[in-house]
Homo-oligomer: A and B are copies of this chain.
Amino acid sequence: MSSRTASFDELDRKIITALMANARTSFAEIGAVIGLSATAVKRRVDRLRETGVITGFTATVEPSALGWRTEAYVEVYCEGAAPPRRLAEVVRNHPEITAAMTVTGGADALLHVRARDVEHFEEVLERIRTVPFIRKTISVMVLSHLIPDSPEAGATQAAPE
């Protein structure tokens, strides 16, 4: 669970790349590619999960197919000192907020919001604006994606450079 030393070699990196491409690749198949037995691959994957490098396995879904057709980023401006903990509370109460972070620049926080349509998005925005310490919001609607959309939490490749 805890990511302590977290030292991993070239082999681990290749395993991660394989699992990011397809989380259902069998250990034997990965092993065949990188030159290791299925057992060895399994043990390394277990270790990567224990050390917190791999946090889970999820299905990637086309949001529009599920009825989420509107996407936007919302810059949030707070009154005085913005307490990240209270913001986190607010954010958790709105399922349409799929990501939230504190940022540099004029705004205190940046939210990623998914909604059914523009009407639904407006409703979410109104809900956010009722929060006492939120002073102002600026919305940027997403028009189209220029790349197929890689996972927010993971990098395109297993290692920088």
Binding site for B on A (CB under 8 A): 3, 6, 13, 16, 19-24, 51-68, 73, 84, 87-88, 91-92, 95-105, 107, 109-110, 112, 114-116, 120, 138-147, 149-161
Q: Which residues in B have their C-beta under 8 angstroms from that of A53?
A: 61-62, 65-66
Are the C-beta atoms of A95 and B157 separated by less than 8 Å? yes
**DSSP class of A's interface residues: helix, strand, loop or mixed?**
mixed
**How far in angstroms is the closest Cβ of chain B from A139?**
8
Q: Which residues in B have their C-beta under 8 angstroms from that of A109?
A: 146
Most B CB within 10 A of own CB, among A16, A53, A101, A158: A101
Q: Which residues in B have their C-beta under 8 angstroms from that of A114?
A: 155, 160
Inter-chain pairs besides A20-B58, A23-B59, A104-B139, 15 sampled, C-beta below 8 Å: A19-B59, A21-B58, A22-B56, A51-B65, A53-B62, A53-B65, A55-B61, A58-B58, A61-B153, A62-B153, A66-B160, A84-B144, A98-B152, A103-B143, A149-B153
Known contacts A51-B65, A62-B52, A100-B146: A22-B155 contact under CB 8 Å: no
Which B residue sits closest to A111, measured CB to CB?
B146
Are the C-beta atoms of A98 and B20 separated by less than 8 Å? no
Are the C-beta atoms of B22 and A58 separated by less than 8 Å? yes
Known contacts A52-B65, A66-B160, A145-B99: A57-B105 contact under CB 8 Å: no
Are the C-beta atoms of B103 and A142 separated by less than 8 Å? yes
Which B residue sits closest to A141, measured CB to CB?
B104
User: 13 interchain pairs (CB within 8 A)?
Assistant: A20-B59, A57-B57, A58-B58, A60-B151, A61-B155, A61-B158, A68-B155, A73-B73, A91-B146, A98-B151, A101-B145, A109-B146, A149-B153
